[in-house]
Amino acid sequence: MTRNQRALTGIRVLDLSRLAPGPYCSMLLADLGAEVVMVGGGRTGAPIPVLRRGKHAIELDLKTPEGRAVLDRMVEHTDVLIESFRPGVAARLGADHDRLSRINPRLVSCSLTGYGQDGPLAQRAGHDINYLAVAGALGTFGAADAPPTPPLNLLADFGGGGLLAAFGILAALHERERSGAGQHVDAAMVDGVLSMMAMPFADWGTPTLPARGTGALTGTMPAYRTYECADGRYVAVGALEPRFFAALWTELGLGNGSDVPDHLDPAAFPELTRTLAEVFRGKDRDSWAAHFAESDACVTPVLEPDELAAHPHVTARHPDFALDRVPAVPRLSRTPAAPGGTPDPEETVAVLGRFGLTPDEAARVVAPHDAAAGDLSWPPITRPHPGSRTERNS
């Protein structure tokens, strides 16, 4: 499948964003066929290589009249512009929607920030952990007798940030087909997490909210938690519904199906947890995975990232999977997404012609695809943590 046959073929994107959420958003669009140009000011965006795939890179200093003039020329031929500056910075650089929409009324601009374009926290710095905290999500993660535990930076940066920003951009592009006009997308990561917490908030919308680590899906229920196996690795159990728990109970040899305990009774949780923990410690993880391979008991191995490329389900759906080449998703039947490669400078010059630049102008702004992102290196921690898998294997 070539780029000319994908769902977003013909859509042109300028990405002025930095760090992870914005580049992840534009990576999703590039995988779907959009032509994406990363615009840097001496530090071309996306220090994480996988987020740069399929994108072209240029250097523009938007603090200079010359840099802004080139941006204006490109905006005339652009469908989407993504930026992640603090509110007000884009306007100072001449890259705000109010100004650019006068150049191209069909432009869809997306401002992807932590707290949004207004509100008392709009100008505050932050990271995923801060946005989770303010959105009421962080306080729900972790054990009851431990501090809140951040779930990597998946929810705010990627789920509530980059993914929902792409969703908003596509909605604005679809609406443009009716109205002929672009619009501004204010994508705030706190807002995204608030939306993603819809089910927990509804479940907990009672006079007394459960304390951290005591909710139904927090690892307290014996039917919905992880268990350590004989080799120190883990299995995940998600046997919530009665028929699934009955299958679990029977296939563990704990009963014949007619004497299954009430796994939803909180009073039974401690004893059920002890019983299941003792049984799972009797075999190693892969033995349990094989034991439940054909079962509907909802038991799966907890895989380490470096095991994914050998897992039969991952390889069946994504034969080329690698940790530095995650799949292009979701699957579309006629116009599937595909991860892009690293464009060469000549290809970038040709693409910039479709953004309104002459070959000479394009050649002056093309940046090396591995241009450094300022003083930011990734990952920020290069030494393994004590007890990490890397350290254990060294």
CA atoms within 13 A on the CB side of 115: 15
- Residue 324 in this model has a pLDDT that exceeds 70: yes
| pLDDT (tens digit per residue) in 366-383 | 986 555 444 445 555 555
- Residue 288 in this model has a pLDDT that exceeds 80: yes
Q: Which one of 61, 72, 77, 127 is the catalytic residue?
A: 127
Q: Which one of 79, 157, 184, 263 is the catalytic residue?
A: 157
Number of continuous H segments (helices) and E segments (strands) in the chain: 15, 9
Report whether 90 contacts 68 (CB < 8 A). no
Tell me whether residue 127 is one of the annotated catalytic residues: yes
Please state, as a whole number, how many other Cβ atoms lie within 10 Å of the Cβ of residue 118: 10
Beta-sheet strands, E only, within 90-223: 108-113, 184-188
**306 in helix, strand or coil?**
helix
Please state, as a whole number, how many other Cβ atoms lie within 10 Å of the Cβ of residue 349: 21
- Residue 73 in this model has a pLDDT that exceeds 50: yes
In this prediction, residues 225-248 reach a mean pLDDT of: 97
Most confident of the ranges 48-52, 314-318, 346-350: 314-318
- d(C-alpha 230, C-alpha 225), whole Å: 17
Give one word for 43, left, alpha or beta, with left for phi > 0 and alpha for psi -120 to 50.
beta
Report whether 57 contacts 368 (CB < 8 A). yes
- Residue 107 in this model has a pLDDT that exceeds 70: yes
Q: At the topology level of CATH, where does 234-301 sit?
A: formyl-coa transferase, domain 3 (3.30.1540)
Strand pairing partners for 207?
none
Mean pLDDT of the chain: 90
Specify the pLDDT at position 46: 54
- Residue 185 in this model has a pLDDT that exceeds 80: yes
Q: Which CATH architecture does the domain made up of 12-198+327-365 adopt?
A: 3-Layer(aba) Sandwich (3.40)
- Residue 210 in this model has a pLDDT that exceeds 80: no
**14 in helix, strand or coil?**
strand
Specify the pLDDT at position 386: 56
Q: What does R_g of the chain's alpha carbons equal in angstroms?
A: 25
- Residue 364 in this model has a pLDDT that exceeds 80: yes
Domain boundaries, the chain: 12-198+327-365, 234-301
